[in-house]
Amino acid sequence: MRSLSWLAPLALLLAPFPAAAQQEQAEDAPEGVPWQAQIYSGNAQWTPEELEVRDEWDLAHKCGGSLIAPGWVLTAAHCINATRIANGYRVRLGASTIDQEEGATYRIDRMVRHADYNKERKTYDIALVHFVADDQTIEEDNGPIEAIELYDGPPLEPGVAVYATGWGKNEEGADQSYQADLTQVDLTTVDCAAYPQNDGWAADYHLCAAAPDNDTCEGDSGGPLVMEDERPLLVGIVNFGFGCYREKSAGIYLRIDRDHFGDWIRRAMAADPSISELR
C-alpha cells in the first residue's frame, strides 16, 4: 500500500510478487479505524479517455490521512498544495469504501506544510490540512469518526509491531487502480540501514517498517502508521519507498514521537490561519 507516484522518474520495476499473493496478504481493515481520512479531488473534470480506463472515484483518490483533532487531518506534504486546495480538494471521514460515496466529506480550506519540505528529496514530508463543512457535507449514515492520539514516547526501535491502513494499490504500476475497500497491512519496524535501497534517503526522523510479502503502496501516502499500546497510537505517516511488494524492501515513514514533530504539530494547529508553512 505504499505511495510512490513521485518516484516514477526512477524507473520503478514491476513488483516480483503475483497480484494474487499480494491480495492474500493485505486484509480488509477491521471495523473501527475512525481516524482514517481520505484526501481526494472533489472538483475534477475527467476526460473520456481517462474514464475509459479508470472510474471517477479511482481518478479522484490521492492520499490518506489521520484525523488528530477537530478540523485537522495529518498527512504527507506531497499530498497537498495551494493549487489542490483552490481546485476543490476534500477530506472524507467515516468511510471504509470509497467507491460508494460513503462517509462525510469536507472542504479543505487551508494547510500548513513543513517549511523544509523538499519535493525532490522528500525531506520533512509532513502537512496538516484544515477542513470545514460546506453544502456538500452530509453527516449522516457515515461510520465512526474519532481522532487518534499521537504517540509521545521514545523513538521506536526495530522489532515493534505496527500496522498501516489505506486504499493504496495492491500491485505496483502506474496503470493499476487503487483499492476501493480500506485495507490493513501488518508490519514490523526495522533498521533502515539494513536496506541498501534506503541509503541516503532515510533521515533520523524517519522510521522504516516491513513485512515478508506485504507493503504499503501508491495511494497510501499520508496515511497512518499505528501501534497498539492499550490503545491505538499514531507513530508515523506513510512517506515513500522504492517499489511495492518487493523482496527485501522496507517502506519509509515519518516518525511521530516525543522527539519528532509533536511540537511542530501543536504549533501548526495553533498558528495564524494565514500561515501555510512552518519550520
| Contact (CB, 8 A) for 264 and 25 | no
Task: Quote the longest CA-to-CA distance of the chain.
Answer: 51
Active site residue: 61, 66, 78, 249, which one?
A: 78
Q: What is the DSSP string of 185-242?
A: EEEEEE-GGG-GGGTTT--TTEEEEE-SS----TT-TT-EEEEESSSEEEEEEEEE-S
- Examine the residue annotation and report whether 78 is marked as an active-site residue of this protein: yes
66, 148 in Cβ contact below 8 A? yes
Asked if 221 is an active-site residue, the reply is yes
Rounded to 5°, angle at Cα 38 from 37 and 44: 155
Is residue 61 annotated as part of the catalytic site, yes or no?
no
DSSP 76-94: -GGG--HHHHHTTEEEEES
Catalytic residue among 96, 221, 257, 260: 221
Per-residue burial over 123-135, b if 16 or more Cβ lie within 10 Å, else e, is bbbbbbbbbeeee
In the block, cell 462517509 appears at 103
Q: b/e per residue, 183-206, with b = 16+ CB within 10 A?
A: bbbebbbbebeebeebeebbeebb
The C-alpha atoms of residue 189 and residue 186 are separated, in whole angstroms, by 10
Residue of 58, 125, 215, 257 marked active site: 125
Catalytic residue positions? 78, 125, 221
